[in-house]
Amino acid sequence: MHQADGTIVACNASAERILGVAPGELIGRRSLSPKGDALDQDGKVIPEEEQPAVVALRTGRTLSEVVMAVYKSEHEICWLSIGSRPLINPGEDRPYAAVTSFTDITDRLAAECELRQSEERYRAFVEHASEGVWRAEFTEPIPLGLPVETTVRLMIERAYIAECNSAFARMYGYEQPDEMIGIRVTEVQPPDDPRTIEYLTACVESGFRAMEMESVERDLSDDYVATDLCREAARNMCIRACSLCHSTKGGAPDQQK
């Protein structure tokens, strides 16, 4: 709790534990950070006057989920999600105190950062791959466990290209991958060709774990295309399929010299 001038006058053991301070060490401070200044997510300094408790006392506004880093030591920071609520006596305009609560989100932010970096590495890998990589989404999820024929029919009706790399786009005469986003999969896999039905049937029967299966696709040379395919499911519904493929004209890529 901060009194009207911003000074901390009370705190609980959880606050001390999160901030790594000894009992009573927070009392008398105006900031949760021993240095006074805190940091925002862009690394910019947040002075005491702009920190949640002081702002709540100055404006009478309640602040919530303010993310900032405070120093636990000279070389260690702790990321907090902070809320601060002003306390105002009936008939008065100015707060006499503010109650501040916070949660340590250091681990969560670190995990989110690692996830973003992992996604960036994945996208860089996909974009620079020499083989075509693409991901199909369905306009509506397809329930798992349907008869094979029904699943194949729904795949043909609902599948569209949601993502692909440059190598895949070039296979179909497009200059940029973005040009293919949203087009129906039937534009590259002719649904009226019995070999397409045969290929999709084999994919479904394998549990969408197709490896080096050949499909007939409408690329520039009407080649067969060797495909590795897998699917992603949630709540017993097939929601997307991912594929890696290359033209088999003249042999596999490592045989094309």
Burial 163-198 (b: 16+ CB within 10 A, else e): bbbbbbbebbeeeebeebeeebbbebbebeeeebbe
**What digits encode the pLDDT tens for the residues 122-147?**
778 778 888 888 888 899 988 888 89
Tell the CATH topology of 130-251.
Beta-Lactamase (3.30.450)
Looking at domain 2-110, which of 3.40.50.2300, 3.90.1280.10, 2.60.120.10, 3.30.450.20 is its CATH number?
Answer: 3.30.450.20
- CATH 3.30.450.20 in the chain is located at 2-110, 130-251
**What digits encode the pLDDT tens for the residues 188-236?**
888 888 888 888 888 888 877 765 555 655 554 444 454 555 555 555 6
Question: DSSP string covering 94-142, please?
Answer: S-SEEEEEEEE-HHHHHHHHHHHHHHHHHHHHHHH-SSEEEEEEEEEEE
pLDDT at 200: 86
Whether the per-residue pLDDT at 172 is higher than 70: the answer is: yes
Q: Higher model confidence: residue 15 or residue 216?
A: 15
Whether the per-residue pLDDT at 98 is higher than 70: the answer is: yes
pLDDT at 252: 40
Whether the per-residue pLDDT at 181 is higher than 60: the answer is: yes
Helix (H, G, I), strand (E, B) or coil at 57: helix
